[in-house]
Amino acid sequence: MSFSLAQFQRIIRDTYDQKDRSRGVEGTFMWFMEEVGELATALRGSNRKEQEGEFADVLAWLATLANIVEIDLEKAANAKYGDGCPGCKQAPCICAPAEKP
């Protein structure tokens, strides 16, 4: 099954919202950071399946945080990156290599 970012965020909300809201932003953020650490570890290895799983976990916890604070991830991402790079407004980005993003 394929789904959009908005659909994924809704799936996460439908599945975990009650637990997530009772945990709150601070507790959920700690879980998110733990998953980012697990992704960092997986990226040091060569197990593609493990890397994919950790990317999915990080995305799920990011969606959870967005749900708790009522941010539509798809809308936010489109607003910031829909026109290309937020800095130079180009795709591909032509900002100097030392600049963020």
- For the chain, the domains span 5-70
Q: What is the DSSP string of 34-69?
A: HHHHHHHHHHHS--HHHHHHHHHHHHHHHHHHHHHT
Cα separation, 27 vs 48, in Å, equals 29
Residue 101, pLDDT > 70, answer no
In this predicted model, what pLDDT tens digit does every residue of 68-83 receive, in sequence order?
999 999 999 999 999 9
| Rounded Cα distance, 31 and 26, in Å | 9
User: How confident is the model over 18-65, as pLDDT tens digits?
Assistant: 999 999 999 999 999 999 999 999 999 999 999 999 999 999 999 999
- Say if domain 5-70 classifies as CATH 1.10.3720.10: no
Query: C-alpha distances in angstroms, 97 versus 15, 45, 81, 86?
Result: 41, 27, 18, 14
**What pLDDT does residue 99 have?**
84
**pTM reported for the whole predicted model:** 0.91
